[in-house]
Each structure stands twice: as structure tokens, then as C-alpha cells.
Structure 1
């Protein structure tokens, strides 16, 4: 973990930057994972991000994945960015991954 940035702010930093760059396309932004829960056990911390996009293009997906890597390095956590188009999200809200994200996560959008 990085001494220069608190791990609890990694999710906030990602959400702020993602919204600044792609706020018009983001319909849902939910973060969860052991770093968000504060359950890092001192070994390996991760932040899972579920992003639901109106206009999910390969370029936007690459930018958001790169953003996760950058923020992760800055905060000493590993980001896993999962991107779904709106229609797929809406048709699969009962999927275990989506349910977990919505039940355990913190929603920014």
C-alpha cells in the first residue's frame, strides 16, 4: 500500500475522474471489494468497479480500465473494472455478480 494516499480514497478518486471524463455516458458506477469494505487483511487489497454505460465503446472501455490501473498504482490497490452496456445490465440484474455489486457496493451514480 502507498503511504502517500489513503486506500479509502481510491474509490472516490476513481469515481471522480471517471465522472469527469465520461459522466454523460455513465448510468451506474458502483464500487465494492475488500478495499472498499476495509477488509484488506494487510496482504492484497482490491476495488471492484461495476460501470454501466449508455455508450460503451472500446475506446471508453480502454480509458476506464487504464484509469483503474492508474488510480490503483497511486493508492496501492488493484482495480478490476467491469463495464456493461445499459441493456445488458437491465436484462441481467439477477446475475450474482450484479447482485453482489449492488448489495455490497457503494453507488456513486
Structure 2
């Protein structure tokens, strides 16, 4: 994957394995989902209001732009949720019927 973030420091933490839309990815223990996902790919999710991709905006929990989902359907704010070993993330809410009408 072509990542948006490049890690420059703190490279000695334990590796965490997870997936984004079924694709394997790695992060470091203690990373937020936002750091983990943007360290592995270019965006966090699909926009609800068009065909664009979103990558978070404020990076501190105020803007609501970083919502992602687990494969089980749990909604998580990427900027304040920690990545966990084996986590399976999806970038589109498959349960939202209004999103799937396009």
C-alpha cells in the first residue's frame, strides 16, 4: 500500500498486525488507528457524501471525520482508538443502507 504517514521516530515498539478492508497491515503498539491506517494506506474511509476518500481533518477528536468500522460493525473514532493485534478494520459502513444506495 502507498501510505500517507511516514514514521521517523519511535521505531522500537512491538509490531501489531491488523487488516484494512481485508488487506494485511502493521503498526506499532500504542499507535492510534489513524496513525496505523495512514501509515499503511492513503486514506481512512469513503466519504458519505460523494465518491471522495477521507483522511481525518483535525487529528484530535473534534471534527468527526475519522470514523472507521471493525469488520463486526463497531464504529470507532480513528484519532482516539488504539490499534490492537488482529483487528480487522473496514473503511465503509456496510450497515448504512443510505450509503449503499449509490
Greater share of residues in helix: 1
Q: Same fold (TM over 0.5)?
A: no
- Taking structure 2 as the reference length, what is the TM-score of the superposition? 0.25
